[in-house]
Amino acid sequence: MVLGSSLYIYFSCGINVRTNGVYGIAALFQDAADDAIASVVMSGGGTLEYDSVFFQHVLPVTSTLPTTFKIRGGPNMNDIFFNGFAGGPIFNGAAKTTLIIMEVAP
C-alpha cells in the first residue's frame, strides 16, 4: 500500500431473513477493531424473501503495514442466512458473496 492512496472496498451478498421485523446486518471490520467501519441493514420480509445486500466504502491509506478486513453479519434476533435459506444454499451453492478491495493511487 502507498501512503496517500485510497482503498475502495465493495461487498455484496444475498441474505434471507425468515421473520418479519427481523433485520439482517452486514458490517466491515478492519484488523482487531471492535467498531465497524461500514455497515448495511436489511429488513426481513418473511421465509421466502431473499435480498441482495451491498455496500461501498472508501478508506484512506494511513499505513504501509499489512491489514486484514473481515465481514461479519447477523440478525437483530432469530435466524439469518447468507447465500441461502434454512434448507441450504440457493442455486446449488452458486450464489456469490463478493469482497473487492482496490487500491487507487492519488
Residue 96's pLDDT is 81
Split into its structural domains, the chain has a count of: 1
Residue 63's pLDDT is 92
Residue 41 lies in a domain: yes
Cα(53)–Cα(42) distance, integer angstroms: 7
Cα(97)–Cα(30) distance, integer angstroms: 18
Residue 65 lies in a domain: yes
Q: Which residues have a Cβ under 8 Å from the Cβ of 92 and sit 6 or more positions away?
A: none
Residue 26's pLDDT is 87
- For residue range 9-23, what is the model confidence (pLDDT) as tens digits? 999 888 877 667 777
Residue 1 lies in a domain: no
Its domain, for residue 90, covers 6-104
- For residue range 38-94, what is the model confidence (pLDDT) as tens digits? 998 877 666 566 777 888 999 999 999 999 999 988 887 777 777 777 777 878 878
Residue 80's pLDDT is 77
Angstrom CA distances, 81 to 18, 67, 89, 97, stand at 8, 28, 9, 12
- Number of residues that make up the chain: 106
Residue 16 lies in a domain: yes
